[in-house]
Every structure is written in structure tokens, then in C-alpha cells.
Amino acid sequence: RPLSCSHHYFKYCKISALALLKMVMHARSGGNLEVMGLMLGKVDGETMIIMDSFALPVEGTETRVNAQAAAYEYMAAYIENAKQVGRLENAIGWYHSHPGYGCWLSGIDVSTQMLNQQFQEPFVAVVIDPTRTISAGKVNLGAFRTYPKGYKPPDEGPSEYQTIPLNKIEDFGVHCKQ
């Protein structure tokens, strides 16, 4: 089915070793502060393939990242320069870190992703927890997309158990149907 006909069109997200390494290193470099970047890639059927990524110059706090005009200018210049040297991948998503509090989309993240999907479709959000990655010895991440405004997804049971710090529990899960 074409992308525009199904809210569940994309079933898979594959990430190259290069893109994953760059994202994890960037997330780890932020310490307890959130970081953000852009991912480049392509679509193959129901799969979004992330082939590369790059960090964005954003102002991070312990609970959010704020992209200023400089970040958007940097993003546009990076993509343009990549095309000039033969890299034909498009921007396919954004990533950011949740240091120590798991991989999920906050209310602000959901709004950001909805906006991105509205204007840059197809687009995926990836969240990396560098703290849990280090402690578990394997990459802790999640890939997310949002539903269009007004769409009501069917009720489903919880997908898996995840511990959330008490100071984040109020926001966790509130936006899961978006």
C-alpha cells in the first residue's frame, strides 16, 4: 500500500553501523544533557534505512534539546554539501538522547515528530539512552513515528516493560496514541 494510505506503512527501521556508531558516540558525549542530530537515508518498501547521521549544534538540557536557527542553517548546509560530493541520501529522520530515562517520545518530542512528518515525510524519530547503553553493554534505542492528527489507533496492550525515573513518569505514556 502507498505511504499515504496507511498509518502503519513502515514496519522496519534499519541503521547502518556507521550511523549507529556516530549517534551513540554523540549521545555519550553529551553526558547528562540531551543531544540531537539528523539522520540521512532512504526508503525500501516498508523499511526506513538510516545510512548516516550527523550531530546538530543545539542547546541541550537534562530534559530537552532546543534547536535554534543556527542548527537549521547547519542542517541545510550539511545536506547540500553531501549532495555536492555524491551523497544522494535524503534527510530521513532525527535522533536525540534521553540520558538515563529510557527510549520514548515526550510530549515535546511527539509535537516535533508530528511537525516533521507533516512537512518532511517520510521521517522517523530515534531516541538513544547512552546511560543504559553503557550499563547494559548493548545499544538502548527506539524508533518512533506519529499518527496524523485526528487518527485514533486501536487499543493495544503494553508492548514491553520499561523502568522510568519518577521525575519522568508523568510524561511517559501520555502521548503513546499520537
Number of folded domains that form the chain: 1
Residue 2 pLDDT: 44
In a domain, 110, yes or no: yes
Say if 178 falls within a structural domain: no
Residue 173 lies in a domain: no
CATH number where 62 lies: 3.40.140.10
> Which range of residues forms the domain containing residue 93?
3-146+159-168
Per-residue pLDDT, 4: 52
Cross-strand partners of 144: 125
Look at residue 28 and tell me if it is in a domain: yes
pLDDT string in tens for the chain (178-residue length): 345 556 678 999 999 999 999 999 999 999 999 999 999 999 999 999 999 999 998 877 655 666 667 777 887 888 888 888 988 889 999 999 999 989 999 988 998 899 889 888 899 999 999 999 999 999 999 999 998 888 887 776 666 655 656 665 566 555 555 5
Does residue 58 lie in a domain region? yes
Is 175 a member of any domain?
Answer: no
Q: How far apart are CA 149 and CA 114, in angstroms?
A: 8
